[in-house]
Amino acid sequence: MAHGSIELVEVGPRDGLQNEADIVATADKLALIENMIGYGARRLEVASFVHPGRVPQMADAEAVIAGLPDRDDTTYIGLTLNKRGVMRALATREGGRRGIDQVGCVIVASDTFGQKNQGQTIVEGVEETRAMLRFARAEGMSAQITISAAFGCPFEGEVKPATVLAIAEELAAEDPAEIALADTIGVGVPAQVAALFGQLGELLDGRIPMRCHFHDTRGTGIANAWAAHGAGVRVFDASLGGLGGCPFAPNATGNIATEDLIYMMDRSGIDSGVDLDKAIAANRRFAGILGRDLPSRVTRAA
């Protein structure tokens, strides 16, 4: 039986909702976040600072952040794609407000996808992300990075591990709070995950924590999470109900479900700090808001 603990980063309020066809009301988002805190989520990705024309679901980012519970035991993360996004995140803290605690910077491990997602090649993305990390640090804001499409690109196909590791090595020099690898389109398999995180772990040598972000497009997401754990990852992104998807990745489906991840970890003797029964109840409440069942297999079986 395994032992130890993991940390959940609940990405439902951002990654889970960004691809929804119908706009979710600000009040419903805040109720969802309250429920997530209620089941034990203590790091939550609550919004992204992107152009509302490109991701309409995130148009109310500042309104959501203004309504967040002011708790000492939570970390609120805002996704940023450029320096302007970091500035918006910093603005949420003006006037003594709680605001965003940490920014998440994203770089894509594919030139084609990077240009479609945020208008930059890998080389340009490294420079932009380096500048964002330095700017955030100078302003007293914690910042972490996600290398997306790390296991495959919807346009170029295979992404070479050397490409991912080169990006990680360059940005590790800026001492981010974390480096995550994301399987944005859900093509990764456990052997690939174990190998790449194993190499990343050797590269980082314990200096910077690793995080993983899996989508379940081809049904391998939970198995990949287990492989990542075996490779030393202890911080896991997941989305309540398995909601999610990238607006710029064709046919991408949801994140691994929080309930499915927690069930696997609980049954393996690994503590997550999450109350599974409360997460299942939160799933069902939010399914009522969306008017459909959410993909989580554990909730469906409960």
The reply to whether 102 falls in a domain is yes
283 in any annotated domain: yes
CB 239 within 8 A of CB 256: yes
Return the closest-CA partner of residue 10 out of 31, 41, 35, 32: 41
Average pLDDT in the 224-243 region?
A: 97
Residue 27: how many CA atoms within 13 Å on its side-chain side? 1
Residue 39 in domain:
yes
The answer to whether residue 32 is domain-embedded is: yes
212 is catalytic: no
Separation in Å, CA 80 to CA 210, 271, 289: 19, 30, 27
Query: Is residue 249's pLDDT more than 80?
Result: no
CA R_g for the chain: 18
Q: How many CB atoms lie within 10 A of CB 220?
A: 22
| Number of domains making up the chain | 1
Candidates 105, 153, 212, 246; catalytic one: 246
| Model confidence at 12: pLDDT above 90 | yes
In this structure, what CATH number is given to the domain that contains residue 29?
3.20.20.70
Give the predicted TM-score (pTM) of the model: 0.96
Each residue's pLDDT tens digit, 25-56: 999 999 999 999 999 999 999 999 998 988 99
Distance between CA atoms of residues 210 and 51, nearest Å: 28
Q: 185 lies in a domain?
A: yes
Q: 43-49 and 75-80: which strand pairing?
A: parallel
**239 occurs within a structural domain:** yes
H helices within 120-257, ranges in order?
122-138, 161-172, 190-204, 221-230
Question: What's the pLDDT score for residue 125?
Answer: 93
Residue 2 lies in a domain: no
pLDDT in tens, 158-181: 999 999 999 999 999 999 999 999
Residue-number span of the structural domain to which 147 is assigned: 7-301
Is residue 1 situated within a structural domain? no
Q: What is the pLDDT, as a whole number, of residue 113?
A: 81
The DSSP bridge pattern shows strands 179-183 and 235-238 to be unpaired
